[in-house]
């Protein structure tokens, strides 16, 4: 019985075990994922053994932790008590310990209390024993099964055998599930299309990524062929490939374009692995759209690069040099511009086209830049083969090797000769404009629309006293806040607003300046010209005052004042026209014509001509004319008319102010004077004539009278000699008188002759030695000199170039008188002195004689005038007259100083020429 029942029992257990294995196998087959399979496994085990705790733990991929992945659902409360303990490290907790040891561990109640980590749960369940079973696949632990019971530990031991047998079975199932999972994950995670098709190309299986790429759901793709999604141009490629394969071909590839659900074209690169026996093709397709696109754009880029290169070659001048600057390549443009052939250039350096325009430092900087691997940019002047110059805008780009060292330089140049020339022209024009703006006499500045000063010329600096540097680039209202709210401010704003040119005059109070301003608005702002008109303004004010004064003067003076405004042709007459000429000034409006009409007809032409000539000549500011002017009573007054011409800055006469003075009375006096003069002239002529006659007479008489005189003298001599003894004393006395009379008569005649000749030159001028004249005189009068014990002293006398006779006459007359009119009993002393001044010689003959009363100073020079009778001093009274006549004939003067009893000094001059 025991045996039978034992057999029967074994049989039942065997069946139960088989059923368990079948159920487990089903669970793992049915469930795709490991976790639901694990839960079903736990349920299967519960069904099998009614265990109170069933758990499956699996190590993670990295083998760092062991994780609870399934448990039986009967003991839910256990997990609510122990929610967090779902991971253990190796050797931690029962799962960790079984993982570590790799063998079954059975913990009884005591051990559970001591080691089991989830004690609370275990206590709640009242677990008496827990068995940890390692699950392995090919000796590798793939999981740990925990089985717990409230019953005695024996209960577990009873099942331990069965459970041991499950170790490998469940282990391999877990492993299989894991592999499947991995595969599926790989299948689904691959970003490319992974699929299985039949030989017609129908999709039997396709991964999610593949569907997502095409934008279709699985069911829209499955059992549809590749060609259905393929662009028409690429259809049939798969079929063609399949047909082409023969035994032994393991893989084939092709590319085609899919049309995704959103109509986008997707480039695919297929890699196909056909399984001939199964009639299946395992295929993967990579999305190469981006690569194709970038290839296309690369192609396009390459094409445009080609085009750029071509275009650059057409327009730019390109050379390539090595690191030493030796030209290795040139394009046609370079040859064309430099006029060198390619052969002439290759192998040379750029010094071949050096124009010597740039300093050495320029090229040193160029090389310094590019040798450092940096791009150089600059404008260079070169010289072509024919000697002409050209300018290029150069960009030199160093090409760098892997060590960032330049291995060649590419120079790209643009011909900017025309631009340079244009620039030079522009600079020239700008300079010229600047020069003009700097040299104009006006102040000039410009502001832009924001009132920023953009120009400020030299004159503006001087007039406004502000340097260019202080104002350029600054806001005009900030640099000149004093102008805000002034007339300037208003006018500038008006011009800016209206765009109209404005001209105004205004006082700039800060500098007490009057300025005339012209504002020209332009697109960019304002151009402002101004000039200092302070002088003019002040003159205007002065003029105003002067006008006032002028009016006062016209009232005060007797002269006829007039004011002719030439530009307006109006004439003003002062009060004088009434007082002098009798015109009703208040009721007459004088005009230039009425002035001219009043001029005496024969004076009109002269006066009119002179006034217009004076106005026309810019250098003339005064006018003066004498003429006859008609008074209101139709009589004519002689007037002197004086005018001052006022001109504008161009010199044009704008006004003339003047005054007429009536000099009729003077004129009358003058006329009388002229008449008097005329009669005087006649009288002088008469005198001259009678003088001449007198001279003639004297000359004649001197000769003719001498003859009878000589007769009287000689007959008197005869009478005395022959009849002296017959005549009484009285008769002899008479004879003596007659002889003396004849002698005197002769002397008078001789003197008269001398006198008559004293104002005429009978010989040429000659060298006259006055010393000689003096010594001749001394010799001639030596007897008289001795008698009078006279001394005549003089210093060395000059030699004169003059007429000898009159000079001798003067000296003789004056010395004779000095000898004659001496005092008795004192020795006579005569002194001759000479003074030479610029134009004449002055002589003085001084004596210590009887002297002359000053009332006779004039009288003694008159002919025949004598101060003494003949008895006292002999003489004819002609000597001094001759001296005076002779002195005056030579253009000199004669005068004297004398005192009675003190002696006399006779002075006379002889002009040098
Ligand atoms: P005369 O000597 O023949 O009288 P003069 O014409 O020489 O005529 O002189 C005029 C007069 O001037 C003289 O009569 C004399 O009275 C006076 N007189 C001239 N010279 C002198 C002199 N040196 N001293 C004083 N009286 C003089």
Q: Is the pLDDT of residue 22 over 80?
A: yes
Helix (H) or strand (E) holding 636: strand 636-647
**What does residue 788 show for φ and ψ, rounded to 5 degrees?**
-85, 0
Distance from C-alpha of 689 to C-alpha of 676, rounded to nearest angstrom: 20
Q: How far is the CA of 703 from the centre of ligand 1 (A)?
A: 26
**366, 356 contact by CB (below 8 A):** no
Query: Per-residue DSSP letters for 454-510?
Result: EEE-HHHHHHH---HHHHTTSBHHHH-GGGTTSHHHHHHHHHHHH---EEEEEEEGG
Burial class (CB in 10 A: 0-12, 13-18, 19+), 270: buried
Question: Closest ligand 1 atom to the C-alpha of 878?
Answer: 6
Q: Is the pLDDT of residue 282 over 60?
A: yes
pLDDT tens-place string over residues 169-228: 899 999 988 888 888 888 877 888 889 999 888 998 898 888 888 899 988 998 999 999
Q: In what order do the strands lie in the sheet with 443-448?
A: 453-456, 443-448, 525-532, 513-521, 502-508
Burial 638-664 (b: 16+ CB within 10 A, else e): bbbbebebebeeeeebebbbbbbbbeb
Question: What pLDDT sits at residue 408?
Answer: 93
Residue 1's pLDDT band (boundaries 50, 70, 90)? very low
- DSSP single-letter state for residue 215: T
Query: Per-residue DSSP letters for 104-166?
Result: -EEE-HHHHHHH-S-HHHHHHHT--EEEEEEEEETTEEEEEEEEEESS-HHHHHHHHHHHHHH
Question: What pLDDT sits at residue 749?
Answer: 83
Q: Answer whether 0.85 is exceeded by the pTM.
A: no
Cβ contacts of residue 58 below 8 Å, gap of 6+? 34, 38, 66, 67, 69, 142, 143, 144, 174
pLDDT tens-place string over residues 454-480: 999 889 998 888 999 999 999 999 999
Per-residue pLDDT, averaged over 899-907, amounts to: 95
Q: In what order do the strands lie in the sheet with 622-630?
A: 570-573, 560-565, 653-662, 636-647, 622-630
Report which of 340, 335, 323, 326 is spatially closest to residue 413, judged by C-alpha positions.
335
Distance from C-alpha of 660 to C-alpha of 225, rounded to nearest angstrom: 133
Which residues surround ligand 1 with Cβ inside 6 Å?
817-818, 821, 847, 849-850, 852, 860, 866-868, 875-881, 904
Distance from C-alpha of 345 to C-alpha of 536, rounded to nearest angstrom: 72
Distance from C-alpha of 102 to C-alpha of 132, rounded to nearest angstrom: 10
Q: How far is the CA of 816 from the centre of ligand 1 (A)?
A: 9
Nearest Cα residue to atom 14 of ligand 1: 866
Residue 611's pLDDT band (boundaries 50, 70, 90)? very high
Q: What is the token pair recorded at 897?
A: 């100083």
Q: How far is the CA of 710 from the centre of ligand 1 (A)?
A: 28
Q: Is the dihedral of CA 739, 741, 747, 753 positive or negative?
A: negative
Q: Is the pLDDT of residue 791 over 90?
A: yes
Question: Closest ligand 1 atom to the C-alpha of 861?
Answer: 6
Question: What pLDDT sits at residue 610?
Answer: 94
Report which of 623, 586, 619, 590 is spatially closest to residue 608, judged by C-alpha positions.
623
Residue 2's pLDDT band (boundaries 50, 70, 90)? very low
Distance from C-alpha of 103 to C-alpha of 141, rounded to nearest angstrom: 10
Q: Is the pLDDT of residue 759 over 80?
A: no
Residue 5's pLDDT band (boundaries 50, 70, 90)? low
Question: Closest ligand 1 atom to the C-alpha of 856?
Answer: 12
Give residue 262's Cα distance to chain centre: 67
Q: How far is the CA of 629 from the centre of ligand 1 (A)?
A: 62
More confident of the two residues 688 and 798 = 798
Residue 3's pLDDT band (boundaries 50, 70, 90)? very low
**137, 175 contact by CB (below 8 A):** yes
Report which of 826, 848, 844 is spatially closest to residue 835, judged by C-alpha positions.
844
Residue whose entry in the numeric block shows the structure tokens 């004042």: 561
Q: What is the token pair recorded at 141?
A: 């632990």
Question: What pLDDT sits at residue 6?
Answer: 60
Q: How far is the CA of 896 from the centre of ligand 1 (A)?
A: 12
**683, 654 contact by CB (below 8 A):** no
Q: In what order do the strands lie in the sheet with 280-287?
A: 203-206, 193-198, 280-287, 265-275, 252-259
Nearest Cα residue to atom 7 of ligand 1: 879
pLDDT tens-place string over residues 726-758: 889 999 999 998 898 888 888 888 888 888 777
**46, 70 contact by CB (below 8 A):** no
Q: How far is the CA of 895 from the centre of ligand 1 (A)?
A: 13
Distance from C-alpha of 529 to C-alpha of 442, rounded to nearest angstrom: 6
Per-residue pLDDT, averaged over 545-563, amounts to: 78
Distance from C-alpha of 844 to C-alpha of 822, rounded to nearest angstrom: 17
Helix (H) or strand (E) holding 321: strand 317-322
**What does residue 156 show for φ and ψ, rounded to 5 degrees?**
-75, -40
Nearest Cα residue to atom 3 of ligand 1: 875
Distance from C-alpha of 704 to C-alpha of 711, rounded to nearest angstrom: 12
Mean pLDDT of the chain: 89
Distance from C-alpha of 776 to C-alpha of 766, rounded to nearest angstrom: 18
Report which of 829, 821, 833 is spatially closest to residue 789, judged by C-alpha positions.
829
- DSSP single-letter state for residue 202: B
Per-residue pLDDT, averaged over 45-53, amounts to: 91
**What does residue 146 show for φ and ψ, rounded to 5 degrees?**
-110, 130
More confident of the two residues 749 and 321 = 321
Question: Closest ligand 1 atom to the C-alpha of 818?
Answer: 23
Q: How far is the CA of 692 from the centre of ligand 1 (A)?
A: 27
Q: Which long-range contacts (CB under 8 A, 24 or more apart) does 710-715 make?
A: 712/738, 712/739, 712/742, 713/739, 713/742, 713/743, 713/746
Distance from C-alpha of 514 to C-alpha of 530, rounded to nearest angstrom: 10
Question: Closest ligand 1 atom to the C-alpha of 881?
Answer: 6
Residue 338 sits at the vertex; the CA angle it makes with 333 and 340, to the nearest 5 degrees, is: 100
Question: What pLDDT sits at residue 165?
Answer: 84
As beta bridge partners, residue 259 has: 265
Burial 679-712 (b: 16+ CB within 10 A, else e): eeeeeeeeeeeeeeeebeebeeebeebbeebeeb
Looking at 359-457, list the stretches that DSSP marks H as alpha helix, in order from N- to C-terminal side.
360-371, 417-439
Q: What is the token pair recorded at 614?
A: 């004076």
Question: Closest ligand 1 atom to the C-alpha of 875?
Answer: 3
**Pocket probe mutation, ligand 1, options 858, 880, 902, max atoms within 8 Å of Cβ:** 880
Q: What is the token pair recorded at 374?
A: 């940096």
Q: How far is the CA of 800 from the centre of ligand 1 (A)?
A: 27
Question: What pLDDT sits at residue 149?
Answer: 92
Q: What's the first-to-final CA gap in the chain, in angstroms?
A: 204
pLDDT tens-place string over residues 137-172: 888 999 999 999 998 888 888 888 888 888 888 999
Question: What pLDDT sits at residue 616?
Answer: 93
Query: Per-residue DSSP letters for 681-720?
Result: HHHHHHHHHHHHHHHHHHHHHHHHHHHHHHHHHHHHHHHH
**136, 167 contact by CB (below 8 A):** yes
Q: How far is the CA of 774 from the centre of ligand 1 (A)?
A: 20
**Pocket probe mutation, ligand 1, options 752, 817, 870, 878, max atoms within 8 Å of Cβ:** 817
Distance from C-alpha of 868 to C-alpha of 870, rounded to nearest angstrom: 6
Strands 129-137, 105-107: parallel, antiparallel or unpaired by DSSP?
antiparallel
Nearest Cα residue to atom 18 of ligand 1: 817
Distance from C-alpha of 493 to C-alpha of 504, rounded to nearest angstrom: 13
Q: How far is the CA of 719 from the centre of ligand 1 (A)?
A: 35
Strands 829-836, 791-794: parallel, antiparallel or unpaired by DSSP?
parallel
CA torsion 700→702→704→707, rounded to 10°?
-170
Question: What pLDDT sits at residue 341?
Answer: 93
Residue 4's pLDDT band (boundaries 50, 70, 90)? very low
Query: Per-residue DSSP letters for 554-592?
Result: HHH-SSEEEEEETTTTEEEE-THHHHHH---GGG----H
């Amino acid at each position: 019985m025991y045996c039978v029942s034992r057999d029967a029992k074994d049989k039942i257990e065997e069946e139960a075990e088989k059923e368990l294995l079948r159920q487990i196998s089903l669970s793992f087959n049915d469930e795709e994922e490991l976790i639901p399979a694990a839960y079903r496994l736990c349920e299967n085990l519960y069904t099998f053994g009614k265990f109170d705790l069933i758990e499956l733990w699996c190590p993670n991929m990295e083998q760092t932790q062991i994780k609870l992945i399934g448990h039986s659902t009967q003991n839910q409360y256990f997990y609510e008590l122990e929610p967090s303990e779902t991971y253990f490290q190796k050797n931690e907790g029962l799962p960790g310990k079984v993982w570590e040891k790799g063998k079954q561990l059975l913990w009884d109640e005591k051990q559970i209390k001591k080691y089991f980590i989830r004690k609370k749960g275990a206590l709640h369940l009242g677990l008496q024993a827990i068995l940890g079973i390692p699950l392995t696949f090919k000796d590798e632990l793939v999981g740990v099964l925990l089985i717990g019971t409230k019953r005695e530990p024996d209960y577990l031991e009873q099942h331990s055998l069965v459970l041991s047998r499950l170790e490998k079975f469940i282990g391999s199932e877990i492993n299989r599930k894991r592999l499947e999972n991995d595969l599926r994950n790989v299948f689904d995670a691959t970003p490319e299309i992974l699929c299985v098709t039949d030989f017609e190309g129908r999709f039997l299986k396709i991964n999610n990524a593949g569907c997502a790429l095409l934008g279709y759901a699985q069911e829209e793709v499955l059992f549809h062929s590749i060609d259905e999604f393929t662009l028409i141009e690429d259809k049939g490629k798969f079929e063609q490939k399949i047909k082409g394969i023969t035994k032994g071909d393991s893989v084939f590839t092709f590319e085609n374009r899919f049309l995704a659900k959103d109509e986008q074209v997707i480039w695919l690169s297929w890699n196909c692995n056909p399984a001939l026996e199964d009639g299946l093709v395992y295929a993967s397709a990579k999305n190469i759209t981006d690569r194709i696109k970038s290839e296309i754009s690369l192609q396009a880029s390459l094409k445009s690069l080609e085009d750029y290169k071509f275009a650059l070659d057409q327009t730019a001048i390109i050379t390539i040099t090595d690191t030493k600057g030796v030209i290795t390549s040139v394009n046609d443009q370079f040859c064309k511009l430099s006029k060198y052939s390619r052969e002439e250039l290759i192998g040379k350096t750029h010094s071949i086209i050096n124009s010597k325009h740039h300093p050495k430092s320029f090229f040193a900087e160029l090389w310094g830049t590019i040798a450092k691997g940096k791009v150089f940019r600059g404008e260079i002047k070169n010289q072509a083969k024919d000697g002409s110059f050209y300018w290029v805008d150069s960009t030199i780009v160093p090409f760098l090797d892997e060590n960032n060292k330049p291995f060649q330089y590419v120079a790209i140049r643009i011909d900017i000769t025309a631009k340079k020339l244009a620039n030079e022209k522009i600079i020239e024009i700008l300079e010229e404009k600047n020069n003009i703006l700097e040299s104009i006499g006006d102040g000039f500045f410009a502001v832009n629309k924001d009132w920023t000063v953009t120009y400020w010329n030299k004159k503006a600096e001087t007039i406004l006293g502000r340097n260019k540097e202080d104002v350029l680039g600054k806001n005009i209202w900030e640099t000149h806040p004093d102008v805000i709210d002034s007339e300037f401010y208003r006018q500038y704003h008006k011009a800016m607003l209206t765009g109209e040119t404005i001209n105004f005059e205004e006082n700039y109070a800060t500098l007490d300046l009057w300025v005339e301003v012209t504002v020209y608005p332009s697109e960019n702002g304002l151009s402002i010209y101004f000039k200092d008109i302070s002088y003019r303004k002040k003159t205007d004010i002065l003029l105003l005052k002067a006008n006032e004064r002028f009016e006062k003067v016209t009232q005060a003076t007797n002269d006829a004042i007039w004011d002719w405004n030439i530009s307006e042709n109006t004439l003003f007459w002062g009060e004088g026209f009434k007082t002098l000429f009798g015109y009703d000034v208040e009721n007459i409006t004088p005009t230039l014509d009425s002035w001219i009409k009043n001029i005496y007809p024969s004076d009109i032409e002269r006066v009119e001509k002179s006034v217009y000539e004076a106005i026309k000549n810019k250098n003339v500011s005064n006018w003066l004319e004498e003429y006859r002017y008609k008074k209101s009573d139709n009589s004519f007054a002689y007037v002197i008319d004086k005018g001052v011409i006022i001109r504008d800055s161009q010199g044009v006469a704008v006004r003339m102010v003047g005054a007429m003075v009536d000099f009729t009375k003077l004129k009358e006096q003058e006329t009388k004077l002229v008449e008097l003069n005329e009669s005087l002239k006649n009288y002088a002529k008469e005198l001259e004539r009678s003088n001449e006659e007198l001279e003639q007479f004297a000359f004649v008489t001197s000769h003719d009278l001498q003859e009878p005189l000589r007769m009287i003298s000689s007959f008197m001599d005869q009478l005395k000699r022959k009849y002296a003894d017959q005549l009484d004393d009285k008769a002899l006395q008479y004879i003596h008188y007659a002889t003396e009379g004849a002698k005197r008569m002769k002397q008078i005649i001789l003197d008269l002759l001398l006198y008559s000749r004293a104002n005429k030159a009978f010989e040429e001028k000659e060298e006259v030695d006055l010393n000689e004249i003096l010594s001749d005189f001394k010799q001639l009068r030596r007897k008289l000199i001795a008698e009078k014990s006279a001394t005549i002293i003089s210093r060395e006398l000059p030699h004169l170039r003059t007429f000898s006779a009159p000079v001798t006459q003067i000296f003789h007359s004056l010395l004779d008188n000095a000898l004659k009119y001496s005092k008795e009993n004192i020795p006579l002393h005569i002194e001759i002195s000479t003074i030479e001044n610029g134009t004449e010689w002055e002589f003085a003959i001084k004596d210590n004689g009887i002297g002359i009363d000053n009332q006779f100073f004039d009288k003694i020079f008159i002919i025949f005038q004598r101060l003494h009778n003949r008895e006292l001093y002999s003489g004819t009274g002609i000597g001094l007259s001759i001296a005076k006549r002779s002195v005056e004939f030579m253009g000199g003067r004669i005068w004297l100083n004398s005192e009675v009893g003190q002696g006399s000094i006779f002075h006379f001059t002889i002009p040098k020429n």
